[in-house]
């Protein structure tokens, strides 16, 4: 049975039982406690936490959620049960049914015959576990389902008690295991061997609230939840391995083709050596995870989600090289996994070109990293050998890994080839310290959820009516007041308060558009609204200051949007759509929106693209956007179903969850069609001019365009025109002649600077003979140690190199320092004879640097540094003399 059929059977089973089918959320959600969605229940957290009432008919739902877990990336492939990306099929009950229903529904799907929509698993091969004192669940399994008592095992809190790891919902759980047979391990059930007995489904009976503590059960149970809920998770990949009768999750229809592709590319064979099998599995697992992350809008970078993606991709590339690959590999692996995953995720097809482009760019960058890392390792190895040692320091190996992205296994391999070892004890120590820091940082971020329970009644019973698409003023009733997180009945002049109205014309921040500003007026009462935020996509919260009078619950009030603010914001928002459409015309469909910000007169647009835009491309984008303004295109909004919107070609944002009914903003027919809930002008001409300021990088594979709109664009163009006019007058040229005239002046300036530098160098070298006269002999070594005034580090290097060459026939050391403002650049150079005698420039600058508050480094024959303590120069020279005299 193919994986997409396993998914379909699961969904159909629960839909037929009255559950609402909920599409998978994006892997990226607006949740400060999560890097990625890591469990099937994550999108349902507001309902389990009691922040919102579930909107599902019958109080039940089912989903197959995309999940990513990356805490132990190094363990992937070592065992054959875990994936970084996986699909969690789940059914959820919010007070509708509890233990009996969850157990019966799961058992029916697993054991019903194929012709009845089930998976047809042999009931005799299924075992279950329950929590130690959960007699109720054990009795249901034995008395109602018919599982023999000997196949029902009781386990402790660490295995069979669930919580999110932080204060909140918790409860016992019951897990279902499949016996894969004696060839996989010893008899005795999951309590004895969880390799032979494979966990396929976890039924969580969410009925308690836990307090502070850790995941291992060191927390207090505070009491029962208002409703008893069910959260279950069935591992799609594990069930696929069983139904497809393969050894593990890596050999199913989704991942095995990637392993086959890796065999073809590398020449290695899967199944021959454990260490190679781990690499094959890393390639298959990481290729799928990387592809799904890029699909959901993540791009490689050096922090956050982008760092995880980059790390996964680099592990793929490195594993392929260790298996024998010599050229580019990532595109082939990613292309293969897209083929296997598209039947379950059709949206992959529309993003294929973009995903491959991101992958190819990242691989190209990493191959350069490998090249530079190899050079750094060679230098390190040479230093180790020259010192007579045979072990590369663990600190140096860790720096190669952490700072330069150079894999430790490559360092080990190259060290062995050079006849060296690596101090892995020190490397492991520094790696453990880094992980501890990362975990501490992650734990610090994993705080309790922001308490939005104060808004719950309004969210569920009095959602805000927004009428601001058509009107900027209107009558409203104050139905809620919140101050310092607490509901209050009134507020007085000078108070800052959150005001909840039954209806409002003020736009709440979303979709990149900032919230409206305005006033709330009732007789002598005036409140200035500085921001409007949205809670649970249903409730508008007006952040306001009471300027005069007082406000209280039930008060009738006039809501007034700041019309100038709204006009500027709508200009910018519509301008963003024009820029997006122009961008896709110039760059093609792979330039996908990755975020935006619109405020009056200004817009910022982020998009996924790997290359820097040229001046010509920016000029064309600006021209297309302003041509759309000039054409006075109609801006229409259409309320329709999500399916119809997609048929129209409307573009959606990554990470955004849309309901069944959506709002489409159409500009000039096919020119621009996007899903958007923001406010817009009525025609493109109202945007006014659009002035593109430029574009920049905001991470690997992500770019940003910034622009002005409306009167702000006009002011920008006016300033530029005035500047050009002033320059033309100063240079006695016509404005159109400015580029050539400025280029000519720049070339003349560069030539003059080069001539000045040549003269300075000649002067320095002319003084070299005088400096040699200051040489002193210490033991068998000649030392030239001189302080100069106002000489740059680059000029010091030129002078030191010349002096070293003049002294090449003897054992000599040159040490020069300069007082250049509040900086002390310094350099050391050693002749070949001095280096042979063990005098290394790098050691000398380290010694000198200690006295001038600086650091430095380099090669044995020349090293450079900089400090900030002028008073320590003489002491530094004295310390170097001591080094020479003590030899």
Q: Which parts are annotated binding residues? A: 573, 577, 676, 680
Report the length, in residues, of the chain: 887
Question: How many Å separate Cα 680 from the centre of its chain?
Answer: 31
Which residue ranges make up the annotated binding site for Zn(2+)?
573, 577, 676, 680
The DSSP output letter for 492 is E
The answer to whether the CB of 621 falls within 8 A of the CB of 705 is yes
Nearest 5 degrees, angle CA 110-CA 114-CA 119? Answer: 25
Task: Return the residue matching tokens 């005035």.
Answer: 722
Helix (H, G, I), strand (E, B) or coil at 390: coil
In the structure encoding, which two tokens stand for residue 43, read together?
Answer: 């999108």
Number of neighbours of residue 288 by Cβ within 10 angstroms: 26
The answer to whether the CB of 284 falls within 8 A of the CB of 258 is yes
Q: Phi-psi region for residue 450, left (φ > 0), alpha (ψ -120 to 50) or beta? A: beta
| DSSP assignment of 133-181 | T-HHHHHIIIIII---GGGEEEE-HHHHEEE-SSSEEEEEEEEEEEE--
Return all residues near 350 (Cβ < 8 A) that are at least 6 apart. Answer: none
Helix (H, G, I), strand (E, B) or coil at 528: strand
- Furthest C-alpha separation in the chain: 103
Closest CA to 197 of 215, 183, 208: 183
**Cα→Cα distances 92→137, 144, 235, 851, Å:** 17, 21, 15, 67
Nearest 5 degrees, angle CA 689-CA 694-CA 696? Answer: 145
Question: How many Å separate Cα 881 from the centre of its chain?
Answer: 52
In the structure encoding, which two tokens stand for residue 71, read together?
Answer: 């805490």
3-state DSSP of 494-519: CCEEEEEECEECCCCCECCECCCCEE
Angstrom distance (rounded) from CA 454 to CA 487: 7
Angstrom distance (rounded) from CA 623 to CA 617: 10
Number of neighbours of residue 214 by Cβ within 10 angstroms: 11
Angstrom distance (rounded) from CA 313 to CA 511: 30
In the structure encoding, which two tokens stand for residue 886, read together?
Answer: 């003590």
Q: Parallel, antiparallel, or unpaired for β 812-819 and 781-789?
A: parallel
In the structure encoding, which two tokens stand for residue 269, read together?
Answer: 């064979």
**Cα→Cα distances 724→181, 615, 706, 715, 730, Å:** 82, 18, 22, 14, 10
Angstrom distance (rounded) from CA 492 to CA 525: 9
**Cα→Cα distances 494→142, 382, 465, 491, 497, Å:** 66, 71, 28, 9, 10
In the structure encoding, which two tokens stand for residue 792, read together?
Answer: 């740059």
In the structure encoding, which two tokens stand for residue 338, read together?
Answer: 């897209």
């Amino acid at each position: 049975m193919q994986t997409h059929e396993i998914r379909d059977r699961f969904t159909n089973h629960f839909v037929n039982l009255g559950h609402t089918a909920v599409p998978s959320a994006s892997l990226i959600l607006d949740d400060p406690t999560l890097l990625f969605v890591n469990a099937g229940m994550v999108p349902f957290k507001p309902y389990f936490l009691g922040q919102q009432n579930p909107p599902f008919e019958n109080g039940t739902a089912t989903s197959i959620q995309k999940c990513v877990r990356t805490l132990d990336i190094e363990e992937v492939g070592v065992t054959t049960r875990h994936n970084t990306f996986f699909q969690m099929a789940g059914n959820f009950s919010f007070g509708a049914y509890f233990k009996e229903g969850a157990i019966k529904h799961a058992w029916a799907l697993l054991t019903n015959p194929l012709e009845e929509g089930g998976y047809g698993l042999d009931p005799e091969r299924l075992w279950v576990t329950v929590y130690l004192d959960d007699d109720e669940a054990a009795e249901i399994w034995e008395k109602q389902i018919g599982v023999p008592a000997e196949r029902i095992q009781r386990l402790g809190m660490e295995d069979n008690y669930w919580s999110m790891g932080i204060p909140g919902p918790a409860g016992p759980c019951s897990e279902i295991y499949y016996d894969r047979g004696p060839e996989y391990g010893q008899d005795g059930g999951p309590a004895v061997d969880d390799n032979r007995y494979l966990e396929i489904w976890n039924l969580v009976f969410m009925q308690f609230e836990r307090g502070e503590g850790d995941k291992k059960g060191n927390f207090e149970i505070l009491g029962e939840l208002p409703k008893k809920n069910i959260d279950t998770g069935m591992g799609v990949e594990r069930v696929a391995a069983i139904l497809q009768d393969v050894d593990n999750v890596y050999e199913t229809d989704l991942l095995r083709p990637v392993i086959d592709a890796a065999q073809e590319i590398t020449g290695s064979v899967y199944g021959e050596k454990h260490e190679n099998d781990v690499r094959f599995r890393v390639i298959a697992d990481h290729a799928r995870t990387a592809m799904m992350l890029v699909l959901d809008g993540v791009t490689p970078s050096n922090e956050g989600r982008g760092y995880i993606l980059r790390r996964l991709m680099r592990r793929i590339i490195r594993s392929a090289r260790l298996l024998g690959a010599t050229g580019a590999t990532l595109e082939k692996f990613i292309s293969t996994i897209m083929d296997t995953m598209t039947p379950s995720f059709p949206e992959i097809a529309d993003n294929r070109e973009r995903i491959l482009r991101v992958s190819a760019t990242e691989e190209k960058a990493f191959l350069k990293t490998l090249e530079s890392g190899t050079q750094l390792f060679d230098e390190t190895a040479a230093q180790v050998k020259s010192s007579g040692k045979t072990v590369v320091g663990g600190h140096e190996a860790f720096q190669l890994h952490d700072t330069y992205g150079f894999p430790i296994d490559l360092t080990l391999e190259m060290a062995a080839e050079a006849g060296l070892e690596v101090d892995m004890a020190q490397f492991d120590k520094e790696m453990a310290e880094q992980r501890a820091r990362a975990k501490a940082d992650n734990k610090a971020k994993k705080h309790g959820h922001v308490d939005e329970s104060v808004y719950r009644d309004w969210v569920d019973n009095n959602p805000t009516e927004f009428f601001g698409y058509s009107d900027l003023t209107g009558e409203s009733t104050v139905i809620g007041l919140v101050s310092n997180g607490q509901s209050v009945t009134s507020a007085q002049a000078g108070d800052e308060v959150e005001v909840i109205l039954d209806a409002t014309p003020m736009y709440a921040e979303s979709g990149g558009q900032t919230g409206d500003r305005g006033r709330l007026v009732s007789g002598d009462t005036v409140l200035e609204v500085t921001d409007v935020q949205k809670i649970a996509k249903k409730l508008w919260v007006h952040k306001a200051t009471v300027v005069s009078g007082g406000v209280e619950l039930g008060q009738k009030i006039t809501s007034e949007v700041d019309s100038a603010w709204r006009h500027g914001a709508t200009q910018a928002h519509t301008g963003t759509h024009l820029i997006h459409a122009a961008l896709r015309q110039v760059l093609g469909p792979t330039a996908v929106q990755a975020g935006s910000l619109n405020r009056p007169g200004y817009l910022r647009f982020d998009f996924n693209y790997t290359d820097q835009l040229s001046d010509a491309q920016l000029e064309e984008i600006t021209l297309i956007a302003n041509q759309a303004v000039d054409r006075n295109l109609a801006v229409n909004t259409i309320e329709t179903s999500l399916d119809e919107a997609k048929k129209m070609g409307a573009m959606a944002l990554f990470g955004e969850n849309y309901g069944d009914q959506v709002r489409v903003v159409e500009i000039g027919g096919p020119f621009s069609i996007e899903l958007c809930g923001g406010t817009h002008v009525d025609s493109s001409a109202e945007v006014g001019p659009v002035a593109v300021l430029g574009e920049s990088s905001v991470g690997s594979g992500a770019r940003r365009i910034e622009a002005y709109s409306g009167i702000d664009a006009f002011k920008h163009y006016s300033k530029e025109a005035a500047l050009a006019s002033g320059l033309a007058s100063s240079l006695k040229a016509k404005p159109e002649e400015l580029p050539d005239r400025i280029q000519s002046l720049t070339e003349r300036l560069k030539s003059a600077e080069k001539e000045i530098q040549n003269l300075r160098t000649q002067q320095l070298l002319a003084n070299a003979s005088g400096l040699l006269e200051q040489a002193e002999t210490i033991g068998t070594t000649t030392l030239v140690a001189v302080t100069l005034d106002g000489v740059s580090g680059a000029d010091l290097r030129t002078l030191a190199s010349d002096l070293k060459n003049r002294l090449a026939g003897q054992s000599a050391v040159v040490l020069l320092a300069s007082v250049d403002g509040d900086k002390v650049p310094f350099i050391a150079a050693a002749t070949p004879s001095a280096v042979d005698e063990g005098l290394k420039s790098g050691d000398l600058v380290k010694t000198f640097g200690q006295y001038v508050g600086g650091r430095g480094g380099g090669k044995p024959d020349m090293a450079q540094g900089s400090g900030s303590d002028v008073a320590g120069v003489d002491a530094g020279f004295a310390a170097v003399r001591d080094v020479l005299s003590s030899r």
